[in-house]
Amino acid sequence: MVKQVGTNVFYGQLTSRMRETSAQVSDAQLKASTGKNSQTYSGYGAGAKPIVTLTHKKDSMDRHISDNQYKIGRQDIMVATMRGLLDITSDFRTKLASLRSATPLEPSVFQGLVERGLDHVQALLNKTDNGEYLFAGSLNIAPVDLTKMPESVGSNSGPILTYYQGNDDELVVQIADGLNINYGVRANEPGIEKIIRAMKMSLDQDMGSDMNSSLLTQSMELAEKATTEISQILAKIAENQRYVIDINEQIKDDKVYVEQTLSVMQDADLPEVLTDLARHQTQLMALYMAMTSKKVSLVDYMR
């Protein structure tokens, strides 16, 4: 009877030790396969709080990097649009100058070219990105409708903004934690309004009259001012884009440091893990063999 009790105690101890060692094998295998010391924050004990803080910081960095990359792409579209407007303005000035040359354009040809130029201006400013209009302030609406312009602009007219369908909101976006910038361009910017008005004004010119009329002179002056002001808009977009790119690169650099710190705190020491795994597997095999043999003591295998 005493022998039976001793045997039961022996096998009870073996079973308990096998469960413990099996769990250690599973834990070591999981560390080896994932490369992490724990799959849950609770597994890090007192070290969990800084890991949670740094993980949230890294997630925030990832969002800013992605959002900023999107903004940089939008600024590329804005830059291309302003360059397109400058090309149209330059072409328009050339056509105006030709009206006073020895071989001026035919009136109907000039009018057709200017009207197509205005259509191109409208198309450029009504561009969308992911379904959102870029030049309408905070509204998602086509910002330019040239049919809203008066039929005749006339001379000495001030700014005409009836074509603009957006609002005057200046968009502010966050590019890093605690850092915001003004972002975007509206289709009612003075330089943009000037080239639209200049082109509309030139269409009021009576092509059978003096080509040195005040209408053509004012159109040319407006186009010259538009060139300067649109160039300034372009420079501002490029400057803002450079700033966003620089901030984004800084965030990427900071993210590397955060990732390295998290790695030190979370990553398992693979050589050490593999050594522990081999040791636990050897112990587990010894326990299995001890369980199946009454002749071999557990002490012999665990020495």
DSSP 8-state assignment for residue 145: -
Any idea what the Cα angle at residue 201 is, between residues 195 and 204, rounded to 5°? 155
CA distance 231 to 237: 10
pLDDT in tens, the chain (303 residues): 444 545 556 667 767 776 777 666 666 666 666 667 677 777 777 778 888 999 999 999 999 999 999 999 999 999 999 999 999 999 999 999 888 777 878 888 889 999 999 999 999 999 999 999 999 999 999 999 999 999 888 766 789 999 999 999 988 899 999 999 988 899 999 999 999 999 999 887 665 555 557 788 899 999 999 999 999 999 999 999 999 999 999 999 999 999 998 887 876 656 765 676 677 677 767 777 776 765 445 445 444
As a whole number of angstroms, the distance between CA 47 and CA 110 comes to 75
